[in-house]
Each structure stands twice: as structure tokens, then as C-alpha cells.
Amino acid sequence: MLYLDEEQVRRHLRIEELIPAMEEALIDFSAGKVTQPVRSVITVDPPGGFFGMMPALTPDGLGLKVVTFYTANAERGIPTHMATIFLVDPATGTPLAVMDGRLITEMRTAAVSAVATKFLAPTDAKILAILGSGVQAQSHLEALRPVRRFEEIRVWSPTKAHAERFAKGIGAKATSAEDAVRRADVVVTATNSKMSILRGAWLKLGCHVNAVGACRPDWRELDDDAMRNVVFVDSREGAMKESGDLILSGAKIYAELGEALAGKVPPRANEITIFKSLGMAVEDIAAALLVYRSVTETRSPR
């Protein structure tokens, strides 16, 4: 059985391969080809953390991710999300690999948003707004660049100094949330906010929003006006259990992203579209399989 740390995962996980793998995983999930219980979460309070277990059987793999989420870790200078992924041979039950899942979680989340952006955002999108300045803000910038050519990037973060530092590092402009979002073609919300930071009144027609924060049923990033638009989710069942943006607004889900990717529903990309992303085990297993196969191919004799 292999053990792969984060640096080994980094050497074998490439965004150009991850984006199409996430698209296939989403289609398989919505087509009923995946066995995946809704994430099981234990609250650890004090200090106010969460411990999640995410198993899945996919057409290609079997495994489990264990993930922790401690928002206070940001003040300690350590990751808020940490994870471990366990892969098993579905044919025999033989353990194949244990690998660090922090980077996989970071990259697959952004890759799924890239799939949504590629499918739903205007093809001539020029302005990107990022609300947030942490790990997911950076990973989304890297994942979205291959699918759209942005000429202007705007940044807002609850902590102004963080926004300015992030913006300087990527050649963007730090501004208010409203100024960042108005006239933007694509918006990413990637914060730890527990209350709305994005207002629907700021969104222009045809804009696409990737909402990746607010992963608990009493947290939200988008207000009711924003959630009245065309809402896509990764999983209906998961969203109705975990997404405060949906639960608290009473919004209706238009479709799972995988259904739209498979052509089962129109994309409605000329309207304002919201992709509420919570993350799924099928995505983690697909990403971990890319890493595992790359490692084993590298090690096999030629």
C-alpha cells in the first residue's frame, strides 16, 4: 500500500487533467452511477471544528476521505481544511493507497468550479471578481484561467490587508465587495462568512457565480436575491442538508451540474447562474485515482 504526502500528491496532480476528470465525475454522479452517502459530520465544540467522513463507490474506484474543518486554524497559521484519502481496489477490497487530501480538496474544488464556469459563464468573459483571499481564492484563479481569458481581476476580502496582499500578488485590484462584483462576468465567493456577503442586486445579466463557502446549514454567502436566480448544485441531497444558502433562502434548485453537462437540462447560460458547490466524495476519489495512476505508472518497470 502506498503512502503519499502532500508534496508527492502535488507532483502528480495536474489541473489540465483534473478539470475533465471532475466533469466526468459529476456526470457519473448525476447519472446514478455512483454510490455516495451524504457526508457525515461530527461537530467538535470546543474548539468549534468539524470532522467529516466521505465514502464513495464510483465506476472506477472505491474510497473514503476524512476531512477536518477548523476556521480558527487561520489564526494559528495552519490550514483550515485538512484531509486524508484512503483508496481501495473495488474488485478485491485490497487497500491501495493512503494519501494526503488537503491539496486534493483544494484543487478539485477549484477544478469543479472551472467545469461550471466553462459550461455556464459567457464565452467572452473578461472580468473576474473573487470574494475571499485564502487558499480557495488562489486555487480558483489558477483553475479558471485555462477556461476563460480574464482581462481584469478584482478582489475583496473581509480583512482589507489580506485582500490587498492577495491582489498585489496576482496583479489584481483590491476594492469593496460591491465594486468587485458589479459588471463582473464571473464571481467566486470563497470565504468563511456565516452571513451574506454577495447581493443579487450587484449581479449583471449573464453573470456566473461559483459559491464555494458556507458549507453548513446555518451559514451563507449569498443573499435571497442572488439565490432567486438559476441555481445549480453538485448534489441535490447534499445541498438540501448542508447549504445554508439554499436552506435559509428557500431557493429552488434548477439542476445538478452533472445533469446539465449530460444535456438533460438546458444550461440557461444567458441568465444569472449560481453554482453552489459543497464538494463530493466522488470528486475526491476521481482526483486521488489520477494521482495513484500517475505514481504507479512512474514506478512501473519499462
Taking the domains of the chain in order of start, what are their residue ranges?
2-104+282-299, 109-280
Beta-strand relationship, 95-100 and 127-131: unpaired
Query: CA 283 to CA 112: how far, in whole Å?
Result: 8
Instruction: Judge whether residue 299 has pLDDT over 80.
Output: no
pLDDT in tens, 3-61: 999 999 999 999 999 999 999 999 999 999 999 999 999 999 999 999 999 999 999 99
Query: CA 181 to CA 276: how far, in whole Å?
Result: 17
Residue with cell 437540462: 265
Instruction: Judge whether residue 302 has pLDDT over 60.
Output: no
Residue with cell 485555462: 146
Instruction: Judge whether residue 220 has pLDDT over 90.
Output: yes
pLDDT in tens, 64-97: 999 999 989 988 999 999 999 999 999 999 999 9
Beta-strand relationship, 173-174 and 186-189: unpaired
Q: pLDDT value at position 213?
A: 94
Q: Calculate mean pLDDT across residues 86-109.
A: 98
Rounded to the nearest 10 degrees, how much is the dihedral formed by the CA atoms of 232, 263, 115, 240? 20
- Indicate the CATH number for domain 2-104+282-299: 3.30.1780.10
Please tell me the total number of residues recorded for the chain in this structure.
302
Establish whether domains 2-104+282-299 and 109-280 are of one fold.
no
Q: What CATH class has 109-280?
A: alpha beta
Closest by Cα among 94, 105, 116 to 54: 105
Q: pLDDT value at position 74?
A: 86
DSSP class per residue in 111-167:
HHHHHHHHHHS-TT--EEEEE--SHHHHHHHHHHTTT---SEEEEE-SSHHHHHHHH
Within 10 A of 263 (CB to CB), how many other CB atoms are there?
9
Q: Are 189 and 172 in contact (CB under 8 A)?
A: no
